[in-house]
Amino acid sequence: YLRMMMPEGGDVKIAYDPEARDGFRLGLMSSFGLDTSDAEDVELDDILYIDCDTEGGIIAGSNPRSVLLSVYEYLRQMGCRWLFPGVDGEYIPMKDITPVKYRHKPTTRYRGFCNEGAEFQQCMLNSIDFIPKVGMNVYMLEFKVPTYYYDLYYSHKFNSENRPPEPVSETTVLQWKRQCEAEIAKRGLQFHDIGHGFCVDSFGINSAGAWSEMDDSFITDEQRQYLAEVGGKRGLFGGRPANTNFCMSNAKARKTVADYVASYAENHSNIDYLHVWLADATKNHCECDECRRKIPSDWYMMLMNDIDDALTEKNLNTRIVFIVYTETTWPPLTERIKNPERFSILFAPISRSYTQTLPESDIHHELRPFELNKMTLPGSLGEYLAYFAEWRKFWHGAAFAYEYHFWWHYVSDVGGIQLARRINEDIKCYKEKMLNGIVEDGTQRPFFPTGIAFYTYARTLYDHTLTPMEIAEEYFSCAFGEDWRLFYDYLDKIGSLFDVTYLEYKGSADRINVDFYCPEKAEELEGAEELFRIGEELVKSHYNSDYRIRTVSVRLLEAHLEYCRSLAKMLIIKARGDDEGAIACNEEFRKRFGRREAELELYYDHNLHFVRLGVVAKHPTRKDSLQKNDVDHTVI
């Protein structure tokens, strides 16, 4: 990067020299005799230290990863920016270096990203390369073998008219996961692994199919006896491995899972945090007489203690993460973890509303008693935090969040600006609630039409004193130049036009009586052409730039204009109550815009967008056709 900043600046020599006294010296703060006492754990807590003049100086960190983060921060102080993955996402000014004195401990310990969405290997490698450049330090790979996510891309299910399927084997995906692990290790990032899957993998049932529905007749009687009994039957819940729990009251079953977890940890010593979650979905816990004696969280705590025993027996210090998610939102009544030093709690409010953070009216909630396989998940962040406060009465150990801003909710904010504001608010709220960071579940490509929401996520986790507007000015001025405010205002108006509240089911937190029938919205969208023409003029007048990042950013807006016009057309039909017409229009939109997928795929997840928009198009629009019990609360 120094060579790019000063292409005629001469040679930049790189050497290992512990005795160096001049030039840029990179190393651990401890090696330079620098204080790291504000780090609770120097392995986990990043401190960035820079003391450089025009001839060189010290660039250091509290741990090896922090040294890399300090290098990127030094370059950021020089004016470099990384707005989205890949070479085209780099803004590198040409300038001489200037003195920098800087020391910073990021606001949060856990600043992470987890694989989700339709993945292809190059986007995964790009993503891992990108996150330390924006100050993040955690990467998670969900599932033992994440075949499901790769298949979403390589099957081209939502674009087979334009791209024939390219099946990849489970063996290939496993090799690719190992490659990702190597890239994570190369950067010293915290590696978080697995999450869902242990409930079936432990009994020899492959979780790689995840949410794919299958006939479970292949399951043996020996395996079936350990699976959760739901509705009087034991088997794959809905035919989906990822949604299947096991019979946690069965001591032999718990030991089988604990031993499997310990064996996996022993064979994968590169893991920093091993996430042991229960099944996905809801209303899928075992209903046998013994399991009914305790609520799932109590059985879950017993499982954690069994895992601790199994790891201790193998003399392993593996860190384990357990999750507050779906049914375990309700805290245990009687059981507690015996060795809290090994464990971290993960707060995952998947069914919360993303149209608000925590208004004053959303602070006090009456907690509902748990009902096995009959419960309704919280609908707001405030309600979730009320349950989490009960956990915190006895859990005083490490805690961070698992969030979903870049899942469906990312698609609902067409301009990206509103989501960026929400993320900034959420992170500050979580910090106040003693959650020491976030790992985001979502598409690896949340950069369409811009990466402002993800950039805001990274920067706020790093420094929660930053405002959304401060971050936006930094991002947009690099992406679009001196006229950045015109682009920001345009995308802000686009977001208001489509309205995240409307696309998120009018903000109905519990998704009851949701309704897309809205003639006023149709009328508003019909008048959108004037706004689209403003976008066209911005694109036309800034089409080419001396900076590659600006050319790419404008071309993404050009494609986004086509997306917006097609989306508006579909939503006009939907808002008038024509479900069949909306479905047909959305299908035509999907196929036509799919022609641009290969061109846009480093930034845009075609599968995620049209899974989400397909749900909008197919949802019944008339309020009088909906009854309260018609809405399914199953978490997808």
SS3 per-residue string spanning 432-465:
HCCCCEEEEECCCCCCCCCCHHHHHHHHHHHCCC
Is 596 exposed, middle or buried (CB count within 10 Å of its CB: 0-12, 13-18, 19+)? Answer: middle
pLDDT at 621: 81
Query: Distance between CA 40 and CA 140 in Å, rounded?
Result: 22
Per-residue pLDDT at 430 exceeds 70: yes
Query: Distance between CA 542 and CA 480 in Å, rounded?
Result: 8
pLDDT at 14: 86
Grouping H, G, I as helix, E, B as strand and the rest as coil, residue 144 is coil
Query: Distance between CA 258 and CA 544 in Å, rounded?
Result: 58
Query: Does an H or E element contain 319, and which?
Result: strand 319-324
What is the pLDDT of the chain when averaged over all its residues?
Answer: 94
| pLDDT one-digit tens code per residue, 322-340 | 999 999 999 999 999 999 9
Per-residue pLDDT at 13 exceeds 90: no
Per-residue pLDDT at 452 exceeds 60: yes
**pTM score:** 0.95
Is 501 exposed, middle or buried (CB count within 10 Å of its CB: 0-12, 13-18, 19+)? Answer: middle
| pLDDT one-digit tens code per residue, 239-277 | 999 999 999 999 999 999 999 999 999 999 999 999 999
Per-residue pLDDT at 509 exceeds 60: no
Query: Does an H or E element contain 102, and which?
Result: strand 100-104
pLDDT at 526: 97
Query: Distance between CA 249 and CA 290 in Å, rounded?
Result: 6
Instruction: Give me the DSSP letters along 219-284.
Output: S-HHHHTTB-EETTEES-GGG-GGG--B-TT-HHHHHHHHHHHHHHHHH-TT-SEEEE---SSSS-
Query: Distance between CA 336 and CA 446 in Å, rounded?
Result: 39
Per-residue pLDDT at 360 exceeds 70: no
pLDDT at 507: 43
Name the band, by pLDDT with cuts 50, 70 and 90, for residue 514: low
Residue 247 near residue 288 (C-beta atoms within 8 A): yes
| pLDDT one-digit tens code per residue, 463-490 | 999 999 999 999 999 999 999 999 999 9
| pLDDT one-digit tens code per residue, 212-243 | 999 999 999 999 999 999 999 999 999 999 99
Q: Which residues pair with 321 in a beta bridge?
A: 275, 344
Name the band, by pLDDT with cuts 50, 70 and 90, for residue 622: low
pLDDT at 358: 82
pLDDT at 508: 43
The residues, ordered by sequence, that sit 6+ positions from 285 with a Cβ below 8 Å of its Cβ are 228, 230, 245, 291, 296, 327, 372, 373
pLDDT at 588: 98
Per-residue pLDDT at 12 exceeds 80: no
The residues, ordered by sequence, that sit 6+ positions from 556 with a Cβ below 8 Å of its Cβ are 447, 448, 449, 450, 600, 603
pLDDT at 515: 76
Instruction: Give me the DSSP letters along 44-75.
Output: TS--EEEEEETTEEEEEESSHHHHHHHHHHHH
Mean local confidence (pLDDT), 514-538: 93
Per-residue pLDDT at 610 exceeds 70: yes
The residues, ordered by sequence, that sit 6+ positions from 507 with a Cβ below 8 Å of its Cβ are 353, 355, 356, 501
Residue 203 near residue 246 (C-beta atoms within 8 A): yes
pLDDT at 323: 98
